[in-house]
Chain A
């Protein structure tokens, strides 16, 4: 799987999204539940939550400002502890490096813990080409993988769009499962199957929530403990991280982990926060003998230093997705990217290009709900607006009819004379479409509005005329 999911056009994807009643029920329920949980452990519980957000923002901005320094420090410290570091500028370079490790180790069985960046670089496809068996061990990812690689619809809860009945069907088909759809029984089945995979694996691949530059460590935040097994059992381990996911020291990591778990899943802490440094040492009882850290750029350095830099502050908590009213109705798959919701609508066009993803920045009412919850204060709705500006003014990719309309609007809005004439003749011009005090079938640009709702007929007397007459002392109702 790559960043792109599906082959349909945006409108078609949205259409199937809004007609998927089950998915919509699941998403709305999950959004409402997660928002309540998040609120309980953020603004409700911590009166200084805003200070935490400010601190989070400062840390992320500082790291981005000095990213070259911290990348070097991190690399040096990983190497000092006996790990190998590879810096991949493109996804191809990342895949080639990982391929070479797999070949050298003659690895055939691979277990993975949840990682968005490996989805972004289509790692699994390459590994399968190499003839490896790759098993996703995060339960949500595992379910999707079993279901013929159904794409994730959320960055934290990838199988959000599936219910337990659907999961039971997948297990029945793929694992000869015979029990009920009780979550405990389903989870037990997954546990039994996955346990074997962990024991057989000769290579473990993980993502990375935060790498600590000062010590060369990296952390994984999970609720299932699967990442611990991925890092403890196989002899070789490869960790793949986006190049921006660094913190200077453990002190900053603690703050960001708190922001992450509280905002992502409404927990003060998740069940497991795993921190690992380099390969196994003499007195260690487990851990890999060989450790590779692959740092992926894949377009990030182009974002750095530009007007979209703040998107790199993201800590992948998904809170913006959980409050987005657009995501609520269209679901994750409609975005056509592994990164959905507001963060996806900002990030995806940057990584995947406007040709493929130019609709995404418009899939927002700019309501600001995303910006309001973001724990590291990314001005998401402003960045969506910035994309629109780039699409219109720099890329020139806006439709011609829209350009003309906006040009006309700009002229009218800037000229009181034009506006006065326009607004004066509006009632007469719209008269053929008006019945009573409303328009139910509007012409031109009004059509898309009146397909769904009535539009008010223009005032017979504009407010400004009423005001003028009133000032003159006319008695008017």
Chain B
């Protein structure tokens, strides 16, 4: 199966390991992975800040980039959700709305793709350690992907799972919220860090690089020993 990777700008620039793990994992599951060079950013940071006009050019670029893809897969629930928002953003536009709809229909978040399209629930991974999982808001509430990461993690050999208390609560990232309302963001991420510590887990795992960057960055600043991993890195462990 041919998969076109929508790596996201955060992964491209800051979380290369997540991109690598995603490629290796998909290949092991029998996919042929391609990465179109012209992909940049889905436009979410500026769009969510209210700059709709400014963001539309970036969105059109992404729509064109993935036009011929069969499946678009992203290791970020939030960025994959953004593709699903495109049809609403271009609603009423005779040229771009149909194109946006076509892109949304073939875009999947990584774990969702593995479970729902590849129909794989056990990727054959092995990972020794006590793990807790942060359910990102956009991925669970807006994209509606709740079960797939849980199913895949449950089948990782050696992995001990501890549920995160208050898991449905936002970590305080929220794109530009994290800098615009940093005062509030700090309180939110601190509560999240506190909950992570309560689990006693050695690893905090998530499926969204941005939330992990927020929680991980705060834990590092506070000198917490918990390591942060993207779910692709766990599923790619042997």
Does B associate with A?
yes
Is A402's CB within 8 Å of the partner chain B? yes
In the bound complex, CA of A220 to CA of B20 (Å)? 60
Residues of chain A within 8 A (CB-CB) of B184 are 14, 18, 326, 329-330, 363
Chain B residue nearest to A438 (CB atoms) is B220
In the complex, how many angstroms separate the beta carbon of B223 from the nearest chain A beta carbon?
Answer: 10
In the bound complex, CA of A15 to CA of B41 (Å)? 34
Q: Which of the candidate stretches A90-98, A280-288, A366-374 sits at the interface with the other chain?
A: A366-374
**Contact indicator B12/A391 (Cβ below 8 Å):** no
Q: Which of the candidate stretches A144-152, A199-207, A256-264, A409-417 sits at the interface with the other chain?
A: A409-417
**Contact indicator A413/B49 (Cβ below 8 Å):** no
In the bound complex, CA of A369 to CA of B137 (Å)? 8
Q: Which of the candidate stretches A62-70, A104-112, A459-467 sits at the interface with the other chain?
A: A459-467
Is A185's CB within 8 Å of the partner chain B? no
**Contact indicator A419/B174 (Cβ below 8 Å):** no
Residues of chain A within 8 A (CB-CB) of B55 are 410, 413
**Contact indicator A410/B54 (Cβ below 8 Å):** yes
In the complex, how many angstroms separate the beta carbon of B66 from the nearest chain A beta carbon?
Answer: 13
The count of chain B contact residues (Cβ–Cβ below 8 Å) is 63
In the bound complex, CA of A462 to CA of B15 (Å)? 9
**Contact indicator B172/A413 (Cβ below 8 Å):** no
Chain B residue nearest to A456 (CB atoms) is B14
In the bound complex, CA of A448 to CA of B43 (Å)? 21
Chain A residue nearest to B33 (CB atoms) is A467
Is A458's CB within 8 Å of the partner chain B? yes
Residues facing B in A401-440 (CB within 8 A) are 402-403, 406-407, 409-416, 419, 423, 426, 438, 440
In the bound complex, CA of A254 to CA of B54 (Å)? 46
In the complex, how many angstroms separate the beta carbon of B44 from the nearest chain A beta carbon?
Answer: 9
**Contact indicator A367/B170 (Cβ below 8 Å):** yes
Q: Return the contact of A423 from the options B12, B43, B137, B218 (Cβ within 8 A).
A: B12
Q: Which of the candidate stretches B100-108, B175-183, B229-237 sits at the interface with the other chain?
A: B175-183
**Contact indicator B46/A413 (Cβ below 8 Å):** yes
Per-position 1/0 for A443-457, Cβ under 8 A of B: 001001101111111
Is A393's CB within 8 Å of the partner chain B? yes
Is B123's CB within 8 Å of the partner chain A? no
Interface residues of B (CB under 8 A from A): 7, 9, 11-16, 19-20, 23, 35, 37-41, 43, 45-46, 48-55, 57-58, 60-61, 137-138, 141-142, 168-170, 172-175, 177-189, 191, 213-214, 217-218, 220-221
In the bound complex, CA of A441 to CA of B165 (Å)? 31
User: Which 3 residue pairs spanning A and B have beta carbons closest together?
Assistant: A365-B174, A388-B50, A453-B217
**Contact indicator B217/A454 (Cβ below 8 Å):** yes
CB contact under 8 A between A413 and B41, given known A365-B177, A372-B141: yes
In the bound complex, CA of A461 to CA of B11 (Å)? 11
**Contact indicator A458/B13 (Cβ below 8 Å):** yes
**Contact indicator B41/A18 (Cβ below 8 Å):** no
In the bound complex, CA of A66 to CA of B167 (Å)? 41
In the complex, how many angstroms separate the beta carbon of B92 from the nearest chain A beta carbon?
Answer: 13
Chain B residue nearest to A365 (CB atoms) is B174
**Contact indicator B180/A467 (Cβ below 8 Å):** no
